[in-house]
């Protein structure tokens, strides 16, 4: 017969405990899930399919025009005015006919300033224009 002390003797565990490794993996996953949407400046959309998707625009051909609350215009993060914006867009259109423009304006901005920028884009003969919006919160 074995003694109680023999049955419960200390022995070496030859298995690897993966619980701390899984804890670390889940913490990293949660961190990336939280920070990734914050790094993007785009609106989360589910885009429908279309035949026109075969002729999609190159993301590097998209130019950004931002207008802040005071009406100051930035073209690709560089301060500019309406006349300079129009000449820059005209030059881009000549070098790349597939250029597209995304306009980001402040909610409190007067509509006239937004229309002035859209007119400059139209005078530059750019037809691929988008205006960035955020969904309303319920």
| pTM for the predicted model, two decimal places | 0.54
Pairing label, strands 73-75, 100-105: unpaired
Work out the pLDDT band at 47, boundaries 50, 70, 90. Answer: very low
Q: Report if residue 41 sits inside a domain.
A: no
Contact 94, 62 (CB under 8 A): no
Contact 66, 58 (CB under 8 A): no
Q: Report if residue 6 sits inside a domain.
A: no
Q: Report if residue 91 sits inside a domain.
A: yes
pLDDT computed for residue 27 by the predictor: 93
Residue range(s) defining the domain that contains residue 65:
57-131
Q: Report if residue 23 sits inside a domain.
A: no
Work out the pLDDT band at 49, boundaries 50, 70, 90. Answer: low
Q: Report if residue 137 sits inside a domain.
A: no
Instruction: Quick: pLDDT tens for 56-108.
Output: 566 666 888 888 888 888 888 888 888 998 999 899 889 888 888 888 888 88
Q: Which run of H or of E encompasses 89?
A: helix 82-95
CATH number of the CATH domain containing 107: 3.30.420.270
Q: Does 1 or 109 have the greater pLDDT score?
A: 109
């Amino acid at each position: 017969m074995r003694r109680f002390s023999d049955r419960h003797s200390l022995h070496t565990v030859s298995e690897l405990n993966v619980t701390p490794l899984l804890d670390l993996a889940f913490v990293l996953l949660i961190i990336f899930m939280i920070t990734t949407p914050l790094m993007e400046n785009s609106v989360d959309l589910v885009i429908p399919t279309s035949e026109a998707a075969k002729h999609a625009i190159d993301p590097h051909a998209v130019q950004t025009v931002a207008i802040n609350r005071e009406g100051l215009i930035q073209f690709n993060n560089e301060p500019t005015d309406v006349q300079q914006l129009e000449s820059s867009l005209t030059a881009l259109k000549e070098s790349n006919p597939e250029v597209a423009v995304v306009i980001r304006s402040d909610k409190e901005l007067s509509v006239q300033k937004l229309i002035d920028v859209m007119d400059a884009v139209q005078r530059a003969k750019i037809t691929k224009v988008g205006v960035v919006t955020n969904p309303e919160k319920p």
